[in-house]
A and B are shown apart, each in its own frame.
Chain A
Amino acid sequence: MKQKTADRYRLLFIALVSAIYIFPFLWMVSNSFMSDKHIFSVPPKFIGDLLFTPQMFDNYKNVITQYNFGRYTFNSIWVFTLAAVGQVVVCSLAGFALSVMHFRGRNLIFSLLVITLMIPVQVTIIPEYYLFLKLGWLDTYLPLIIPSFLAGAFGTFMLKEFFSQVPRALFDAGIIDGVNAYQMFLRIYLPQSSSPSATLFIIAFMNNWNDLLRPMLYISSRKLYTVTVALSQFQGQYEVRWNLLLAGSVLSVLPLIIVFAFSQRYIIESTMSSGIKG
């Protein structure tokens, strides 16, 4: 009985906390149903003035049809799913090697990876741009995908930490069974990692999705735009089309929430079957 009330209080507290997190988003959604001139009115208007009128979805319709948001969303989904998959693959491989295997240069490579995490993107972006210019990759998706299929400092770091925590007993069992490195990876370690892999997938997907700088610099053709570049279209030289920008922002969050919801399953599932419980 005590546990149930404790649970209820807990739920109430969680609801309160979530309200703090969800309120600004609700403001965004509400204002996406507002016509341009009322959005920043003071005193503030909370309820969109277009709600429940025939023009209710005008901002959204506008954004999707006139500004081709559907196409750009598709672009973003495709490109960044690919990049996120690449990250999971590459970082699992590297994380495994760095945590469990022995080779010269292991510490050096890991230290270098961590070092690359520290430099803010604003610094390296110009040399990076030149590199892609020389490679002829400008105005394609290659700069947004290929690097993700090669190295991922954050992901490797995360998976290395995770693999280091896999119980020694599993490792020893593998050795006793005489597995080679690939089997150790594929049959023993990788299955354990569905939780951090899913987490890495979300993080890689989300970081890429919200990145404006790289797609903005590397892509010029309109049909290749990603969602963030498309959103920046609403910011003209002299004015910002807030109503469209907010509607677009709401639309751009939805796929991320779906990805998050979908991968939550892997995160919350207890992956802790110790494997050697008798």
Chain B
Amino acid sequence: MKKRLAVLAVILLIVGTLFAAGTKDAKADGAPITLEWWTWDPIMMEQNQQIIAAFERDNPGVKINNTIVGTTDYWTKIRIQANQNKLPDVFTMSSGYVEEWAKEGLLYNLDSFVKSDDTFDLFYKSIFDTNKEISNSDSYYAIPFALVTTVLYYNKDAFDAAGLAYPNDSWTWDEFRSAAKKLTIDKNGDGKIDQWGYWFYGRYAHIEPWIFANGGYLIDRSTMRFSPDKNAMAAMKMLTDLVLVDKSAPAPKDMSAFQQQDVFPQGVAAMWVDGSWFVDTFRKNVGDDIRWGITRVPSGPNGSNTLTYGWPDSYALAPNTKHPEMAWKFARYVAGEGIGLDTYMAGKIPSAKKLATDPLFSDPNQQPGKDMDLLIEQAAGPMTTSYSMGWSEWRGYGGSEALGLNGTIDAIVNSLMSFDEAFKKSTDSINAVLKRYYK
């Protein structure tokens, strides 16, 4: 009996090893060119396959291998590829890292392409330039495929019920605060607020838009140190006052049972600022449960909301790719030339002109209808960000969301620290991080 078990175990071992070792994807025989394409959004899996099929049809002899790595591990894996000089031919690059990667020479310099071909006829140069600015370099290192901006979402039903006019581009902060107060309602008289006028926490997409709309900045670009000017401080004070003084926004600790993107669609907050990509989520999950619209974040007393907080997602090429022309062709294809509007998350602004000008972008049959034109206007106008090297560490994002500036602002509105105390402490720790990257 034992002997039979032992024999079985050995057989299992042999079979298993063969099974384990022999399951690599067989390379397509006779395909002269194979391109590796790495992306990070698992939900786009099917769409990616369709795009590849179409490209391969139009370009016989080319095979594309799409590897999708989950968002949490994408950067680790791709950094290791970079370390090994084995970067994929085309891979997704984010605004948060483009500066570092460009500096380390890990991105193919695209100047030779864009300066001589028809790229700027087909794509918006301004978005390319935003990318170049974020990368803090003189050359183009990535081709943006989408731009995302930040907008003010507002619940039309809630405004109607409160008898208020909808927000518009020329709203002031006072009007905003007053509306927020009127929209904070205890519907059933049980002492608990059922609808808040506004909702936010220390998240970059919640805070920065207000700072920039007030003409402020967080990083002094000449010294690369954290040194928010008085406009930035005024913006953050206004926001924290909403919670602590006006009581028209909840403290984040009271909202911990909610997924952050559910607060607005469930009608728990009547207004919300975050990325334009949530248009997609709301179209799918909200449907017509509530009527909602988007508009610009209100201009602060010292700034203008024509300056948008927006940033591109792009594709970059490996610096040592064996097929630069074909890789560039494919990169342009997936960046907009060969794809349709349906492969974009609604609310992401394509950088390809033909897609951005597609009438379906502002599909009147889906919320928010004509409001979507705002996004195109934003894309055509000036943009800014707070990105720098080490951004996820000092800003607090993803796994470090509870720390950094994100955590600091949360501490203020959760009444753990006073406004001044919090900023004094965090200026030192943020600058310690920046010092490491920018001597």
**In the complex, A touching B (Cβ < 8 A):** yes
Q: For A37, give its contact among B13, B44, B285 (CB under 8 Å).
A: B285
Complex Cα distance, B281 from A235, in Å, reads: 13
| Complex-state Cα separation, A235 to B71, whole angstroms | 8
Q: A233–B19 contact, CB under 8 A?
A: no
Decide yes or no whether B113 CB sits under 8 A from chain A. Answer: no
A9-17, A81-89, A167-175 - interface stretch: A81-89
Interchain CB contact under 8 A, A217 and B70: no
Say whether, besides A40-B259, A41-B266, A238 and B345 are in contact (CB < 8 Å): yes
Question: Of A36, A42, A149, which contacts B257 at CB under 8 A?
Answer: A42
Known contacts A142-B20, A217-B76, A235-B42; A86 and B286 CB within 8 A of each other = no
Asked if A237 contacts B41 (CB within 8 A), the reply is: yes
Asked if A216 is at the interface (CB within 8 A of a chain B CB), the reply is: yes
Is A140 within 8 A of B2, CB to CB? no
Question: B42 touching A233 by the CB < 8 A rule?
Answer: yes
Q: How long is the Cα–Cα vector from A85 to B9 in the complex, in angstroms?
A: 8
- In contact, B73 and A142 (Cβ under 8 angstroms): no
Contact call A233/B20, Cβ cutoff below 8 A: no
Map CB proximity to A onto B261-276 as digits: 1 under 8 Å, 0 otherwise.
1100110100000010
Which residue of chain B has the shortest Cβ distance to A149 in the bound complex?
B13
Q: List residues of B (5-26) whose CB comes within 8 Å of A's CBs.
A: 9, 12-13, 16-17, 19-21, 23-25
| Interface stretch of the complex, out of A97-105, A108-116, A219-227, A255-263 | A219-227
Interface of B is mostly: helix
Task: Scan A229-252; emit 1 where CB is below 8 A from any B CB, else 0.
Answer: 100111111111110000000000
A145 touches B84 (CB 8 A): no
Cβ contacts under 8 Å, B268 to chain A = 42
Q: Which of B16, B68, B258, B266 has the most CB of A within 10 A?
A: B16
A186 within 8 A of B: yes
Choice from B12, B73, B76, B258 contacting A42 with Cβ under 8 Å: B258
Shortest C-beta distance, A59 to chain B (Å), equals: 15
Contacts of B67 in A (CB 8 A): 220
State in angstroms the CA–CA spacing of A253 and B17 once bound together. Answer: 26
CA A37 – CA B262 in complex, angstroms? 8
B250 to chain A, nearest CB (A): 12
Report B31-71 CB contacts with A as 1/0, cut-off 8 Å. 00000000011111100000000000000000000011111
Nearest residue, chain B, Cβ from A187: B2
Q: Are A241 and B19 in contact (CB under 8 A)?
A: no
> B20 and A140: CB pair below 8 A?
yes
A133 adjacent to chain B (CB < 8 Å): yes
Q: Is B80 an interface residue (CB 8 A)?
A: yes
Task: Kindly state the separation between the CA atoms of A73 and B284 in the bound complex, as whole angstroms.
Answer: 29
Tell me if A216 and B41 are in contact (CB < 8 A). Answer: no
Given contacts A142-B20, A217-B77, contact A236 B41 (CB under 8 A): yes
One of A78, A85, A238 near B281 (C-beta < 8 A): A238
Contacts from A to B (Cβ < 8 Å): 36-37, 40-42, 78-79, 82, 85-86, 89, 126, 129-130, 133, 139-142, 144-146, 149, 186, 190, 216-217, 220-224, 229, 232-242
Q: Can you report 9 residue pairs joining A to B where beta carbons are below 8 Å apart?
A: A40-B262, A42-B268, A82-B12, A89-B9, A222-B45, A233-B43, A234-B43, A235-B71, A236-B71
B residues contacting A by CB (< 8 A) are 2, 9, 12-13, 16-17, 19-21, 23-25, 40-45, 67-73, 76-77, 80, 84, 257-259, 261-262, 265-266, 268, 275, 277-278, 280-281, 284-286, 289, 345
Further 13 A-B residue pairs, CB within 8 A, beyond A40-B258, A42-B257, A233-B45: A79-B20, A126-B80, A139-B25, A149-B13, A217-B77, A222-B68, A224-B23, A233-B70, A236-B44, A237-B40, A237-B41, A239-B281, A241-B43
